[in-house]
């Protein structure tokens, strides 16, 4: 069990590694090594598959600490965990005492220190490749042939297996395991992003990739991602990452030279908003609060990440604009929350706010 001191040390070590990773635009070996040292890739794996089997509240607390240190690290880990979350239900299906394909993959992920990631945005909100970006055609023995693209896949070059999905001609969808070395799987060169380039997020193409019936995790059903069979959606996890990055910026602001700007009141306001948002998020995770929707939380988290990081950049003045300064990096990284798996109502509310048409910042009201 990680102690509070362990998490503080993890945050500090990742904070030192995030800047170099941002500049080099290559796979962040140091960040990956730190996460591996803390067994982060095994946290979500159930104990029956030799993982730690952390509950959601523990995971969210750890995500918060990681995001405060390095959004790059938090992004890579949560994409790995998004895949794990969707493998678990299939792995637990009783197959007369013999582990099925999903269970075997979970055990290998722990024993061989393998990684996985998700390529499912084509089933949700991505517009990059249009409708049916990944087609699924039924073949013999209950399998499918996949043709198309996974538009946004984090850490694709390092993954041993992908959790992806395709749409059948009748509109139903499947979710499936696709080993990265399967014939027809082509990992593209990552395109430069505004931030988080070290995550090596890229497209993965499938050209007549055949999957067997025992590699299907869920479906065929409509809207497979939202089904219990597929492990449900992550929901609040991305908002917790925004909370972590906001904390990094607010903490930095608290140590700025008070003679340069009068920062006391603005910092107090940001801290107060951060505390209220954290309380609401963790009360929802604990099951104590059902009056606030994940979309309202996401809007507040997005807004706080943007405002706190931009305030930090402004307070740093010219120094903050240097690539060596964390303020500019945090401001760029905060853009991530407005475009990554951002529900349409949340994005619409943000646009209205920017146009001066929304409610006051931080109120959590979707327009």
Scanning the chain, the segments in alpha helix (DSSP H) are 4-24, 29-37, 56-69, 71-91, 101-111, 237-254, 264-285, 294-320, 326-334, 336-339, 344-354
Check whether domain 237-354 has CATH 1.20.140.10, yes or no: yes
Proportion of the chain above pLDDT 70, given as a percent: 93
Range scoring the smallest mean pLDDT among 21-35, 121-135, 189-203, 207-221: 121-135
Indicate the domain borders of the chain.
Answer: 4-111, 116-226, 237-354
Note whether 144 and 176 are within 8 A (CB).
yes
Question: Right CATH number for 4-111 from 1.10.540.10, 3.40.50.150, 1.10.10.10, 3.30.365.10?
Answer: 1.10.540.10
pLDDT at res. 179 = 98
Strand partners, 221: 173
Tens digit of pLDDT for each residue in 126-158?
Answer: 544 456 689 999 998 899 999 999 999 999 999
Rounded to 5, what percent of the chain is helix, strand, coil?
55, 15, 35
Tens digit of pLDDT for each residue in 309-318?
Answer: 999 999 998 8
Cβ-proximal residues to 226 (8 Å cutoff; 6+ apart), any chain: 232, 233
Fold of 116-226: Butyryl-CoA Dehydrogenase, subunit A; domain 2 (2.40.110)
User: Coil, helix or strand for 137?
Assistant: strand
Tens digit of pLDDT for each residue in 69-111?
Answer: 999 999 999 999 999 999 999 999 877 778 999 999 999 999 9
Helices (H) and strands (E) in the chain, counts: 11, 8
The yes-or-no verdict on residue 365 having pLDDT over 50 is no
């Amino acid at each position: 069990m990680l102690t509070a001191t362990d998490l503080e040390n993890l945050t500090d070590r990742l904070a030192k590694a995030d800047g170099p990773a941002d500049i080099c635009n290559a796979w962040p070996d140091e960040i990956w090594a730190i996460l591996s040292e803390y067994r982060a890739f095994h946290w979500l794996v159930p104990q029956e598959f030799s993982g730690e089997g952390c509950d959601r509240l523990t995971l969210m607390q750890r995500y918060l600490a990681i995001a405060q240190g390095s959004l790059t690290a938090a992004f890579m880990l949560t994409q790995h965990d998004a895949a794990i979350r969707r493998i678990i239900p299939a792995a637990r299906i009783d197959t007369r005492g013999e582990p099925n394909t999903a269970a075997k993959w979970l055990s290998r992920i722990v024993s061989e220190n393998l990684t996985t990631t998700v390529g499912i945005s084509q089933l949700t909100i991505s517009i990059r490749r249009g409708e049916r970006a990944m087609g699924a055609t039924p073949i013999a023995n209950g399998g499918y042939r996949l043709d198309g693209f996974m538009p946004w896949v984090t850490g694709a070059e390092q993954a041993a297996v992908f959790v992806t999905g395709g749409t059948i001609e009748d509109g139903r969808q499947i979710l499936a395991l696709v080993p990265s070395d399967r014939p027809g799987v082509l990992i593209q060169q990552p395109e430069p992003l505004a931030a988080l380039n070290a995550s090596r997020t890229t497209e993965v193409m499938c050209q007549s990739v055949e999957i067997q019936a025992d590699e299907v995790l869920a479906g065929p059903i409509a809207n497979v991602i939202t089904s219990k069979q597929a492990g449900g959606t992550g929901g609040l996890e991305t908002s917790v990452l925004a909370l972590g990055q906001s904390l990094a910026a607010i903490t930095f602001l608290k140590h700025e030279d008070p003679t340069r700007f009068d920062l006391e009141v603005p910092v107090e306001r940001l801290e107060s908003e951060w505390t209220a948002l954290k309380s609401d998020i963790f009360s929802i995770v604990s099951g104590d609060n059902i009056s606030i929707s994940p979309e309202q939380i996401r809007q507040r988290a997005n807004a706080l990440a943007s405002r706190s990081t931009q305030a930090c950049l402004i307070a740093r003045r010219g120094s903050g604009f240097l690539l060596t300064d964390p303020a500019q990096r945090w401001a760029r990284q905060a853009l991530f929350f407005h475009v990554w798996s951002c529900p349409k109502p949340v994005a619409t509310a943000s646009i209205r706010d920017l146009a001066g048409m929304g409610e006051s910042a931080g109120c959590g009201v979707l327009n």
